[in-house]
Structures are given as C-alpha cells and as structure tokens.
Amino acid sequence: MVTKNKMVWKKSSPSKDFKFFESRLKDLFNNGLYASQNAFFRNDVYTYVLSMESASGIEYAKRNVVLDVLYSAKKFAPGTEILLTDMIVSKKKYKSIKLERVSSEEARILTLEHVKSNKVKNIFTNIVELMGTTGRIHVTEEPLIETEITLNTGCEINVAADHRFASSVNIKNIKFDFINVCIIEGATASVSEINKLLTYCYNNKTVLMLLARSFPEEVINTLAVNWNNKKLRIIPYVYGNDVSNINAHADLASVSGAIPISPMKGDSLNADLTEKFGHLLEFVNREKSVTAKPTTNPRRLVNSLKAKLKDVDWSNHDMSQLLSERISGLSDKTLYVKIAKSIESWREKSELDMAMAMYSGYCTKTIVVSRDGKTTKFPYSIYKKAEELQNVYRETKENIGGYIVYSDKKNLNNRQ
C-alpha cells in the first residue's frame, strides 16, 4: 500500500515564531535552566540550544536557525555566542562610546568577570601568570584525579615531513638533541642537484631537517632508502602546501638562524650549503609540526607580526588567527592544561576556552559601551562580530516566508 503525503504551506509569523526560543534563552541568562539531565547557565548557551528537543519538524528548523548563528559566533571566538545571545534577548541596545587599549592586568580582571566557575578562574589566572599574552595553550579533558598544568619550553613550527617519506620510515615523535636546518625557497629538481649536500651529510653523519616547497619522487625514495639503511639522517619537510604554513620557512629561519637558499635569487644547490645551515636543540617531530628549542631569537619577526596584527580589521578573522598562530608558534613556551574528566569537565573546558579568547581580545583592542546607564567593556572584535550576527539573525527571521509541511491525509500534523 502506497502512503500518499500532502504538502501544506504554513505561513510564518516573524514576531511570534522565535518567541519561545528567545524566552527560554532569557530564562537561561537570568536563572539558569535544567534540561536533558543537565543544569545550564549563561555561559552554556550553545550547549543548551544544541541539547533542546523539538516537538515537530518546524520547531526543529527554528532551533537550527538559532543554533547556526550561535555556532558561527562560537567558531569566530568562544564567548561571542554569549554576548550575541545577550543582544538578542535584551530589548535595550548597547551604545558604543569609545575604543581603547587596556593593560594585560586589566584584561585579566575584565575576563574574570565573565567566568562563573572558581576552578576555571584559578586555572585561567595560573595560565596568565605563566604565559602572559603569548605562547601556545593546549586544553584537554583527561582521566586524571586532578587538573594538571605543565609548561614546556620550545617553539613550534607548522610543517610536516613529506607524507611519502613518513609512510616509508619510522619517524613518529622522533627526537634529536641537536639538528641542523637547511631551508630551500622553492623545490629541488633531482638527486644530482643536491648530491653535494647528501655526500656531506653521509660523510659527517649529519642529522638534517631539509625544508622545501616540494620534492620529486626520486629524492624522496633516495632519502627513505638511505634512512632505512642508516646511511643518511635527513628528514624532508614541506611548506606552502596549506595557508597555515605558507610562511613557515621564514618562521623556521628566525628560530634556527638558517639562511634560506633561493635559486631564484641566484643561489645554487650545487654549492656548499653548510654555510647557510641553522640549528635547533631538543627537536621533536610531531604529526603536523615540529617543536624545538630555538638557537636564535625571533624577536624581530615577532614584533613585525604583532604590528601587522594590530592593523588587521576585526572582520578579517582568518588573517588575525593566522598571525596569532604564527606569533604563538614562535614563542618558546607551550602550556598543556589537562582538566580532570568529570561530570562538570565539559563546562570547565568550555569556560576556559571562552576566557582565553576573551583575554586575547581584550589585550588586542577594547570597546567601551553603555546600556541602561551602565558602562562596560568588551573585546572589540567579539563585540563587532556579535553585533553583525545579531543583524544576520534578525534578517533571517524576517526573510522566512513560511514552512512546507509534509503530512498524510489522516493527520496533517504528524510529519511537520
């Protein structure tokens, strides 16, 4: 028996359609809510909406409209979704007063005002004391008795070994106390082109990190065979195959002291390349990057990147993130925060991610705003993104003309 479905058009009502969701979000902000066997509060707004159950297909579609805009905000920077929700549920608007720079100490105090958990406040304060405004932070949930914070020294360069070489030899997490660095701007054409370099490394048992844009098959095969035969200790790395590592050669040069070899500028790969070698200490090969202790100070490059970051428009999030990641990579500090896994650890990690994003935003640029006679400060980039997405949310609601409902003839509501 074939079931016949009927398609019904249900006209939307922009002023009423999302009233239920906005009312729930307001309750969440004011008092907190209990749903799906969890208590949710102001800072949990994204997780709360994600957990909401829908009585019908139409309600599910409406929930997804709200969820999509919150996801876009959270993806931009954790904490943006919280300010965005505040703008959505409040009838009174923020009025911008001025832009200003704040000290790192004021940025810390302002950030703590947004954090609910005392445990997260303590972790965040420890992070700021250890790292300042630069460095890399990795936050994970681990099956531990208590939260651990570990500080490792060493920069991180976002390059990976050539995948063909890595699949032929065992270099996963390989470590060297000392490694030479050779950087080629461009690609090698053949084994014969770098034969002098290979011979030197063989005769002197040189451990070498060789970075280039690409390598031909014969070079990879030669290096892999000689590695497995323990005749050469050369690892070929590739840069420029992703937007995140397009400038990795410059970053590597700044921490190793290597002088890039550029055939386009007249350099010959057949020459004595050892004069342009750089060096790294405590080298570790990771899956998608390398970590090591620098032998030269990258201060000049870091200052240049910071100056560029200040000039980037708030809306160019990709460029801001790219520059921030390069600055962090050049720092000689990496902090590993392992939150002890528990019923509340997901909330603690979420709040900590939010706190670090807010702190970074405050340190970059702050906006002073007022509402209902009260003055407050927000990270400028987060405030502007929330404002933009508030308009997107409003326009999306207004542009929904209606909903198509599929139902059988006996019950027009059973397949909304």
The pLDDT confidence band at residue 140, using thresholds 50, 70 and 90, is: confident
Identify which has the larger pLDDT, 378 or 303.
378
CATH code of the domain in which 278 resides: 3.50.7.10
In a domain, 307, yes or no: no
How large a percentage of the chain has pLDDT more than 90?
Answer: 59
Q: Are residues 174 and 261 in the same domain?
A: yes
Q: Are residues 67 and 197 in the same domain?
A: no
Q: Per-residue pLDDT for 396 more than 70?
A: yes
Structural domains of the chain, count: 3
The pLDDT of 25-33, averaged and rounded, is 91
Q: Are residues 45 and 13 in the same domain?
A: yes
- CA angle, residues 108, 114, 115, in degrees to nearest 5: 85
pLDDT in tens, 113-137: 999 999 999 999 999 988 876 777 8
Q: Per-residue pLDDT for 138 more than 90?
A: no
The pLDDT of 279-293, averaged and rounded, is 92
Q: Per-residue pLDDT for 408 more than 60?
A: no
The pLDDT of 215-223, averaged and rounded, is 95
How large a percentage of the chain has pLDDT more than 70?
Answer: 95
**Alpha-carbon span 251 to 158, nearest angstrom:** 9
The pLDDT confidence band at residue 5, using thresholds 50, 70 and 90, is: low
Q: What is the pLDDT of residue 209?
A: 97
Q: Per-residue pLDDT for 71 more than 90?
A: yes
User: Which residues fall within 8 angstroms of residue 139, CB to CB, at 6 or more apart?
Assistant: 337, 339, 349, 352, 353, 356
- Domain end position, chosen among 244, 267, 296: 296
Q: What is the pLDDT of residue 253?
A: 95
Q: Are residues 141 and 161 in the same domain?
A: no
Beta strand pairing call for 148-153 and 402-408: unpaired
Q: What is the pLDDT of residue 241?
A: 87
In a domain, 272, yes or no: yes
The pLDDT confidence band at residue 41, using thresholds 50, 70 and 90, is: very high
Residue 119 region, left (φ>0) first, then alpha (ψ -120 to 50), else beta? alpha
- pTM flag (> 0.85): no
Provide the token pair at 72: 């876009």
Q: Per-residue pLDDT for 414 more than 70?
A: no
Q: Output the average pLDDT for the chain.
A: 89
Q: Are residues 162 and 115 in the same domain?
A: no
In a domain, 371, yes or no: no
pLDDT in tens, 227-274: 999 999 999 999 998 888 899 999 999 999 999 998 777 788 888 899
In a domain, 20, yes or no: yes
Identify which has the larger pLDDT, 321 or 164.
164
3-class secondary structure, 212? strand
In a domain, 303, yes or no: no
User: Which residues fall within 8 angstroms of residue 391, CB to CB, at 6 or more apart?
Assistant: none
CATH code of the domain in which 357 resides: 3.30.260
The pLDDT confidence band at residue 410, using thresholds 50, 70 and 90, is: very low
Q: Per-residue pLDDT for 198 more than 90?
A: yes
- Domain end position, chosen among 245, 268, 296: 296
The secondary structure of residue 275, as a DSSP letter, is: G
Q: What is the pLDDT of residue 413?
A: 46
Q: Are residues 253 and 179 in the same domain?
A: yes
3-class secondary structure, 300? helix
Q: Per-residue pLDDT for 409 more than 80?
A: no
DSSP character string of 91-155: SSPPEEEEEE---HHHHHHHHHTT---HHHHHHHHHHHHHHTT-SEEEEEEES-SS-EEEEEE-E
In a domain, 322, yes or no: no
Q: Are residues 195 and 122 in the same domain?
A: no
Q: Are residues 270 and 352 in the same domain?
A: no
The pLDDT of 203-210, averaged and rounded, is 96
Q: Are residues 167 and 241 in the same domain?
A: yes
Cβ atoms of 50 and 116 within 8 Å: the answer is: no
Q: Are residues 161 and 147 in the same domain?
A: no
Q: Are residues 342 and 385 in the same domain?
A: no
**Alpha-carbon span 394 to 93, nearest angstrom:** 14
Q: Are residues 162 and 253 in the same domain?
A: yes
- CB atoms under 10 Å from CB of 189, counted, come to 14
Identify which has the larger pLDDT, 331 or 212.
212
Provide the token pair at 43: 């800072």
Q: Per-residue pLDDT for 280 more than 50?
A: yes
In a domain, 305, yes or no: no
Q: What is the pLDDT of residue 407?
A: 60
Q: Per-residue pLDDT for 3 more than 70?
A: no
The pLDDT confidence band at residue 178, using thresholds 50, 70 and 90, is: very high
- Domain end position, chosen among 236, 270, 296: 296
The boundaries of the domain holding residue 126 are 102-151+333-364
In a domain, 57, yes or no: yes
